């Protein structure tokens, strides 16, 4: 009887140990930032998202001039929230095209894409509609840049219009 019990315990340990080890190894979590300066964190930070997008197409979308040799834009978005309500309040947009001075402004969450009224979007510059930029919130960790009609933009075999949450 004692031997049986020992055997049962051993089998359970091996089974659940393996399951735990496997799920531990297969975590899908935000990657650590590769920047020299740590990303902002704290109760007023909604999230920091990094990504690279095709240069010519994106610049055309944003009506910003770029060199003809420009292939990709490396961008970092820091989104801020009200610590009390956790409502999105502001953004900082850094990287290519904004090397000298980050773009900053207000931002809000809103609902609705042309083919999906429930989709959640982040709108940059809601107070300046002519300069508004929209990102689709896939979930808490992944955002997709949209065009001016709030449609997804097709990327290439090397670059997409996706921004991923990063942490320190």
Partner 1 sequence: MKHTRFLVLITLAFASVMATSSSPDPMIFVSASPCDPVARHYLDIPKDFDCEMIKWRLSLYKDPRNQSPTRFELSYTYGMTKPGTEGFMNGGFAKELKGKWTATKSTSQRAGSHVYQLIPDSRPGTISFLKLDENVLHLLDLKGNFMIGNAGFSYTMNKL
Give residues in contact with partner 1 (CB under 8 A).
25-31, 33-35, 50-52, 74, 76, 113, 115-116, 118-120, 136-139, 141-142, 144, 151-152, 154-162, 164-166
Minimum gap (Å) between residue 115 Cβ and partner 1 = 7
Structure tokens at 117: 């009224």
- Of 8 and 151, nearer to partner 1 (C-beta) is 151
Between residues 76 and 107, which has the closer beta carbon with respect to partner 1?
76
Say which residues have a Cβ less than 8 Å from residue 87's Cβ, sequence separation at least 6: 81, 109
SS3 breakdown of the chain: % helix, strand, coil, rounded to 5? Answer: 20, 40, 40
84, burial (CB in 10 Å: exposed 0-12, middle 13-18, buried 19+): exposed
Minimum Å gap between C-beta 138 and partner 1 is 5
Q: Residue 84 CB, nearest distance to partner 1 (Å)? A: 26
């Amino acid at each position: 009887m004692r031997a049986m019990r020992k055997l049962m315990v051993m089998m359970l340990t091996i089974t659940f140990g393996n399951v735990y080890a496997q799920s531990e190894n297969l975590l899908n979590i935000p990657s650590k930032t590769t920047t020299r300066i740590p990303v902002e964190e704290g109760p007023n930070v909604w999230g920091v998202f990094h990504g690279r997008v095709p240069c010519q197409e994106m610049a055309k979308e944003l009506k910003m001039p770029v060199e003809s040799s420009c292939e990709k834009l490396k961008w970092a978005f820091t989104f801020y929230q009200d610590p009390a309500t956790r409502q999105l309040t502001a953004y900082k947009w850094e990287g290519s095209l904004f090397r000298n001075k980050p773009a900053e402004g207000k931002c809000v969450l809103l609902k609705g894409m042309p083919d999906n009224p429930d989709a959640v979007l982040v709108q940059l510059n809601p107070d300046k509609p002519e300069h508004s930029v929209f990102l689709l919130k896939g979930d808490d960790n992944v955002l997709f840049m949209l065009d001016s009609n709030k449609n997804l933009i097709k990327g290439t075999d090397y670059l997409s219009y996706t921004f991923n949450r990063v942490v320190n």
